[in-house]
Structure 1
Amino acid sequence: MTTILSIQSSVAYGHVGNSAAVFPLQRLGVEVWPVNTVHFSNHTGYGAWRGPLLAADDVREVITGIEEREAMPEIDAVLSGYQGGEEIGDVILDAVTRVKAANPAAIYACDPVMGNAKSGCFVHPAIPVLLRERVVPRADLITPNQFELGYLTETEPESLDDTLASVEKARDMGPSTVLVTSVLRPDRPEGTIEMLAVAGDHAWIVQTPQLPMKANGSGDVTAALFTAHLLESGDAGVALGRTVSSVFDLLQLTLDSGRRELQLVQAQAALAAPQMQFEVEQLN
């Protein structure tokens, strides 16, 4: 059984961070150990929220408690998302070091959350520097959107060739596998969006309709699913196809519901058994 240590934010209402990642992973049969960095009433996109931002030392204590159960060798991946500050970044990197010491085969999957094409960069200016200089070089897998890929590599990827070149710059930083979400190249068919995965000497791309919605937490679900499918299959192309299938169905169901929050529970069949309704094209 795959086991993932997921160090992310948490909300009571809705689905972002661990509140978006844990349930889909569990529906895939993955053992998840969530370590929360915040516990808010709801995600910050509402403009108002309540609840505590957990101190970095408290987060570290939770991870130390897991280590004291002699459980670190069971962990196959450390998964992290939005990093609210440099101190949390240090805690995550320390956890990666401890997990890999206990299980050298374990991977670190990092979603380098910084922003998106519409909103721009919405994190503290120190976070991109932290990610670029210290976090991404330690990662085995990163899952940026196209905007974040450019911000991370200090490039401006637009065309497919641009994006592939930016991916190689990212891989030169450390990670061997890169998943790029929200790829919006100028020459794509109108009303479509793509996702790109690169691993080893190969790259794969898949195209879906672009749904008219903004869904907080969808990136967290995507990173979690891709990590799990990659661990299970060992094949980034297979992981890409499964992930895109489930995420599209989740988003379509959410759009149809008319609700703002991801309809994770309602979409659980699509999460557990992807329909594989989109063709994955191998580019090389």
Structure 2
Amino acid sequence: MSTEPPVPETSVLAVASHVVSGNVGNKIAVFVLQSMGCDVSALNTVQFSNHTGYKQWKGTRVSAQEITDLWEGLKQSYLDGVDMMLSGYVPGAEAVTAVGNIGKELRQKSEEVGKPGNFFWVLDPVMGDNGRLYVAETVVPAYKSLIHYADLILPNQFEAELLSGVKITDRDSLEHAIRVLHQEFGVPHVVITSVSIPLFSSSSAATPQTPRTMSVVGSSMTSDRQPRVFRISFPVFEAYFSGTGDMFAALMVVRMREAVANYDKLSNGVGEGKGASSSKLGERRSWLSDDTIGVLDLPLARAAEKVLASMHEVLDRTCESMNAQMRAIRERRGDDIDETTLHLLKSRAAELRLTRNLGCLRDPTIEYRAEKM
């Protein structure tokens, strides 16, 4: 196992929810980022006892003004020098705008000093899933007004539909949605984190234990905003886990930074052909590769492969632990468990197993590779 951090020294502002017990939001992001060698400033957007998957919780949401005040407090003490920003769940449209103002300010700061590559914003537009919003409807236009300023967005399929205005039902509509995000919104990098359409079923990724598959679909735009699309198919565990999107986002921060650093080491920043630049990739705004770079050689594709490798290993170990815990509970208590208690016990057993599986985060075995679409 490698003992060296995979990234150069990197400071990250992580803006997401916080829970006292369990693994979602910034509880995941801070642990993952620090474990991979990043310095993290955590700005928590909610303070809950536990995640909402338990169907009962206590706590509070922060206001837009509180988000702004916390950021102003960091600035007044010269603690606002960050290389990357990760934003996840934000409660309400006004709070989304407040977080967006932070991102825009950091972007402008990097542009003003002539170093556009010094800031990279990974935005997870948390709005809903499976056709259902779990935020106010006003949050959708708030995110639409912001994504132009982000470098990489990580919507699930439903969120990609909300942002692009395109219903994703097949390959053509999927590619159309990505093209809209690149061309009309100017988003440099897009990863749709969970694509489930019949065309994308893949027997090569399935296993006897996990026969159902899904895909991650990503794209880095060219200099004229054309998509360069790849997909990675992976097996799906037949269980519900909270926090998988948060883990994916935190790992993408690290692996994107790593992939760009590795690219610059190998190429020494030399580009050829249309859209080429002699500057290092890590010095360019949004870390956009030259147009001559093939889809499967994109840093985004390399990063996504490693992210999914870690995800699969962590979820596999979480499943093993969850099943063992539930067997032990049934052995002790038999079938005499009411429905509410059983749900709470299952939710606790399904918390992502991160702290005991650092090797899965740092040095995973890549099984599922990117394919060109």
Q: TM-score, normalised by structure 2?
A: 0.72
By how many angstroms is 1:113 displaced?
1.1
Residue 35 of structure 1 is matched in structure 2 by 43
TM-fit CA distance, 1:272: 1.3
Counterpart selection for 1:6 from 4, 14, 28: 14
Partner of 1:44: 52
Q: 1:60 aligns with which of 64, 68, 75?
A: 68
- Alignment partner of 1:236 is 2:300: yes
Report how far residue 247 of structure 1 moved: 1.0
**Does the 8 Å contact 2:16/2:89 carry over to 1?**
yes
Extract unaligned runs of 5+ from structure 2: 1-8, 112-116, 203-210, 223-227, 261-298, 323-348
Aligned residue type for 2:39: E
Shift of 1:229: 1.1
Distance 2:159 2:87 in 1: 15
DSSP-derived class of the 2:33 partner: helix
Q: CA RMSD in A?
A: 1.6
Stretch of structure 1 that moved more, 158-167 or 218-227: 158-167
Summarize deviations over 1:210-241 as a string: whole Å, max 9, x none: 11022111001111111221122121011111
Bigger Cα displacement from structure 2, 237-246 vs 269-278 = 269-278
How far apart in 1 are the matches of 2:46 and 2:212? 36
Aligned runs of 1:5-154 on 2, under 5 Å? Answer: 5-72=13-80, 74-104=81-111, 105=117, 106-117=119-130, 120-132=132-144, 134-154=145-165
Matched pairs, number: 280
Q: CA deviation at 1:276?
A: 1.3
AA in 2 matched with 1:114: M
Post-superposition CA distance 1:178-200 (Å, at most 9, x none): 01111112121361111111013
2:214 aligned residue: 193
Task: State percent identity of aligned pairs.
Answer: 28
**Aligned-pair CA distance for 1:90:** 2.1
User: Aligned letter for 2:46?
Assistant: V
Greater radius of gyration (CA): 2
Alignment check: 8 A CA contact 2:164 2:180 kept: yes
Q: Which amino acid aligns with 1:243?
A: V
Whole-Å separation in 2 of the counterparts to 1:66 and 1:122: 30
Which residue identity does 2:91 align to in structure 1? G
- Indicate conservation of the 8 Å contact 1:24/1:272, yes or no: no
Quote how far apart the aligned CAs of 1:108 are: 1.9
Matched, 1:180 2:192: yes
Task: Kindly provide the CA deviation profile for residues 15-68 of structure 1, in whole angstroms up to 9, marking residues without a partner as x.
Answer: 111112111111211111110111110112222211222232222222112212
Return the TM-score normalized by structure 1.
0.93
Code of the aligned partner of 2:240: K
1:75–1:103 CA contact under 8 A, matched in 2: no
Q: CA deviation at 1:92?
A: 0.6
Distance 1:39 1:233 in 2: 33
Residues 193, 209 of structure 1: 8 Å contact kept? yes
Q: Which residue of 2 aligns with 1:261?
A: 351
How far the C-alpha of 1:100 sits from its partner, in A, is 2.1
Q: Deviations over 1:249-277 (max 9, x none)?
A: 11111111112211121232111112112
Q: CA deviation at 1:103?
A: 2.6
Which amino acid is the alignment partner of residue 120 of structure 2? I
Contact in 1 for aligned 2:107/2:149 (Cα 8 Å): no
Distance 1:198 1:41 in 2: 37
Q: Structure 1 regions of 5+ residues with no counterpart?
A: none
